[in-house]
Each structure stands twice: as C-alpha cells, then as structure tokens.
Structure 1
Amino acid sequence: MFKPTTLLQYVRDVATSVSFYRGVLGTAPVEQSPGFALFLLGDGAALGLWQRDDVQPPVFAQAGAAELAMVVANPGEVQQLHDAWRALGVQITQAPVTLEFGHTFVGVDPDGHRLRVYSRAEGLVARD
C-alpha cells in the first residue's frame, strides 16, 4: 500500500512562490531549480511548486479549487499565524472565525491557492 505524501501546486513563477512559502512556512526549500521547488512539511509530507507552463500533461484547472490545510494546537496559534501572515503581506480571504470544525482563517498565495490554518474544535480528534 502507498501513502500520498506530496501536494503539487502549479505556479506562474517558482521564484516568487518560493519567496512566499519561505515566509509563511518559515523554512527554505530542500530542492529548487528554475521550474520546481520542494518544501518538506514534516511527518513525511511535502509541498512541491511546479512551473505551470512546464507541467506535463498541460494544466487547465485554475488555482483556488482546493486548499492546503495546516492544523495548529489551539485558537491562539491560529490568531498568531494570522497576524504573522498579515505582517508578511499575505492576502487574507477569511479572517479568523470559529466554524463547525474549529477556529480558522484562510490566506492565498501569489497564484490564488488557498491556505487554511485551523485548530480542531473541542471533541474532534484526528483518525489514522
């Protein structure tokens, strides 16, 4: 059995996206070329940034139809990340709010990919 580990985001400009993700993730990519970069996210997960014009087969879908979700320990961390991302100039499309699944906010990267940060609502637990 295999385990999916890498999310690929198709981007207009890898260097611009690397600069953005270096800020919001607080880490440098482990691999970078003009057409691709790879960030390790922990627990075996990774985020790949692939130059949209180089993707094979060609990509026709638009950004924003899916989200990269990042869970944090509590609502206070949601607010801290929201404030830090705003200071970095990240466009926030949903201010911190409590929804059914927990406390959350959403920002977007330079290509319009949605990035959701949330803390789980009390009583909700992750299942393997």
Structure 2
Amino acid sequence: MTRPNMFIVHVSDAPAAARFYGDLFAMEPAFEAPRFIAFGLGGGVQLALWSGATENPAGPRTTAEVCLNLPDAPASVDACHAEWTAKGVTIVEEPHDAVFGRTFVAADSDGNLIRVAPFD
C-alpha cells in the first residue's frame, strides 16, 4: 500500500520560509532547489516548502496545519509556546485545553498554520 511521504507548504519565499522552519524545528534542509526546499522528518517523510505555486494561479488553494506533537503535555506545550513567543513567532491561537489536550497555533509569514499539541 502506498502512503503519503511528503507534505508541501505553499510559501511566497522558499529560502526565507526554510530559515523560519529550520530555526523553529532545529533542522537542516535535505534538498534545495530554486523555490523548493525539503526537510527530512524521518521514516522517509518530508516537509517541503514550495514557492512555485504561483506558476499556476488558477490552481486550488487549500488550508492545512503542520502539527508538532509533544510528549509530557501540558507543560511541554506551554514551554514551546514561551520559546516560540520569545523568538517572535506569530501566535494566532493562544494555549488552551481542547478535547485532545493542551494546544496552541502559530503561523509563518504566509499565514500557514503550525499547531502544537500533545501526542494522542
């Protein structure tokens, strides 16, 4: 059975977005090309940042979230929020308790959402 192995986040400036995500998640790109940069997440899965979506402006635009699941919640979620706030990351949803546990949502400079939540 085939499974998804790459998640693509549409951005306006791939190198700037790569610096943001690289710093946020303490990782280095595994692949770099003009307007497309990918990070290895382990197990053959990648997170890619692509600024080439404007080549087809009539194409569909979707909304999704990149999610970082942390152990030892709720303390780890609150600690991550404090760390990201100190870095100047835009927080669009402050930490709160949801049905699945403590969570908050940040955004990159293109408005793409990054949720931090506990492991299920």
TM-score by length of 2: 0.88
How far, CA to CA, are the matches of 2:101 and 2:19 in structure 1?
29
For residues 39-83 of structure 1, give each alpha carbon's deviation from its aligned partner in whole angstroms, at most 9, with x where no partner exists: 112333210011134656854426xx2111121112111111111
How far, CA to CA, are the matches of 1:119 and 1:53 in structure 2?
32
- Matching residue of 1:71: 69
Checking the alignment, whether the CA contact within 8 Å between 2:70 and 2:77 is kept in structure 1 is: yes
Structure 1 segment 59-98 matched on structure 2, within 5 A: 59-61=59-61, 65-73=63-71, 74-98=73-97
RMSD: 1.9
TM-score by length of 1: 0.83
Checking the alignment, whether the CA contact within 8 Å between 2:8 and 2:48 is kept in structure 1 is: yes
For residues 7-58 of structure 1, give each alpha carbon's deviation from its aligned partner in whole angstroms, at most 9, with x where no partner exists: 0011110111011101111111111122110011233321001113465685
What is the DSSP-based 3-state SS (H/G/I as helix, E as strand, rest coil) of the residue aligned with 2:28? coil
How far, CA to CA, are the matches of 2:54 and 2:110 in structure 1?
16
Larger displacement relative to structure 2 (42-51 or 88-97): 42-51
What is the DSSP-based 3-state SS (H/G/I as helix, E as strand, rest coil) of the residue aligned with 1:94? strand
Structure 1 segment 1-128 matched on structure 2, within 5 A: 1-53=1-53, 59-61=59-61, 65-73=63-71, 74-120=73-119, 125=120
How far, CA to CA, are the matches of 1:52 and 1:36 in structure 2?
7
- Return the letter of the residue paired with 1:110: S
How far, CA to CA, are the matches of 2:23 and 2:101 in structure 1?
24
- Moved beyond 3 Å, runs of 4+: 52-60
Could you list the runs of 5+ residues in structure 1 that have no partner in the other structure?
none
Larger displacement relative to structure 2 (69-78 or 99-108): 69-78
- Return the letter of the residue paired with 2:25: L
